[in-house]
Structure 1
């Protein structure tokens, strides 16, 4: 699973035969989360997310149906992570997982964006190279974000 992102609720998917993307909706569980630094924002997608599991259930017009409106239905997912099982009994979808549609065939639906959003925490600022941080954001001194303020309370000056 190295270097691959987990797919979460809100991932953008596209069919090889459609004209527009649709958003994946995780409807099979309400327990396992991923995405933010606290791990509590978006449900993790699994191979159990089949059927009409998209927001609009439509990838625009379908070239396999003479450009009639698509009726997206997932019958199967392939390329998921085998080594972890979620509470719904499903295996975690990865950004290169592909779905099968009865009209488009095996692997016709692919994941375009995995749905996760990078959210740096304080540890990211502490471990970042100060020169790089200053170059990327010259308006902020990275030491102000990582160093504890020095308190002079209790010190007697003479």
Structure 2
């Protein structure tokens, strides 16, 4: 056995906890069995007195037991452990649910499915305007959609490209500004960036604009894509080089020779 001098503030339970004894009651019983009659313990130990501490395993708490100062069993510790296990289970369930949602999102359809990316020569429209301006790409000069030659017309439009061509009054007049003399000129002022952009494809960390993207004007107009700009074009040279007989087979109701003469007299491009 050991001997311990009781300190001020000590209790049977605190001493039992300190030396790994099952509880305060066990400690008192052990001391009273082996101590002289004059050293018998009452309800609490007296500071300055020596207390006999058992070393026999039958008086000590087992390693897996967790004691508390009152009854030798820590209900709070058990509750904490159970709570921790529940939290871990909930966390695992949340991770599974998040992964499931992510998989569903990846496998699900997107509003961008089947839509084209927009290039600089594309056109946009405002539901409160009249004209159809083109885009002016300023966010980069690196990526071109479907053009190996790197022509500026095919620069990819990103969420940051809110400038238009022309820069002044790009949509002509504004329906939200009526006057006695007609609608006042457009005062285009974009609010933030393009929205509904394609997050999975980025250029210099900027999402790309597609046919479903939108942009708001501070005046109140909503700007959407009128033409993405990736159409193939046929100009005068292509029309002149085309085989008349072959084209006549494709379109028998059309006089292709007459069409060639008309295209030679104009600079217009025809979009397919």
2-side partners of 1:15 and 1:97: how far apart? Answer: 13
Compute the displacement of 1:137 (Å).
Answer: 7.9
Q: Which residue of 1 aligns with 2:157?
A: 45
CA contact (8 A) 1:35 1:118 kept: no
Q: Which residue of 1 aligns with 2:203?
A: 86
Q: Which runs of 4+ in 1 moved over 3 A?
A: 133-138
TM-score by length of 1: 0.67
CA contact (8 A) 1:35 1:117 kept: no
Please say if 1:99 is aligned against 2:215.
Answer: yes
CA contact (8 A) 1:11 1:24 kept: yes
* Unmatched 5+ stretches in structure 2: 1-111, 234-246, 253-272
Deviation digits for residues 12-55 of structure 1 (CA, Å, limit 9, x no counterpart):
1111001111111111110011133x3733110011113xx111
* Unmatched 5+ stretches in structure 1: 120-132, 139-158
2-side partners of 1:55 and 1:71: how far apart? Answer: 14
TM-score by length of 2: 0.40
Please say if 1:17 is aligned against 2:128.
Answer: yes
Say which structure, 1 or 2, has more relative contact order (CA 8 Å, 6+ apart).
Answer: 1
1-side partners of 2:250 and 2:206: how far apart? Answer: 40
Select the residue among 154, 158, 165 that pairs with 1:55.
165
Paired residues for 1:100-139 under 5 Å:
100-105=216-221, 108-118=222-232, 136=250
CA contact (8 A) 1:54 1:72 kept: no
More helix by share: 2
Select the residue among 177, 186, 190 that pairs with 1:65.
177
CA contact (8 A) 1:11 1:113 kept: yes
Compute the displacement of 1:112 (Å).
Answer: 0.4
| RMSD, aligned α-carbons | 2.4
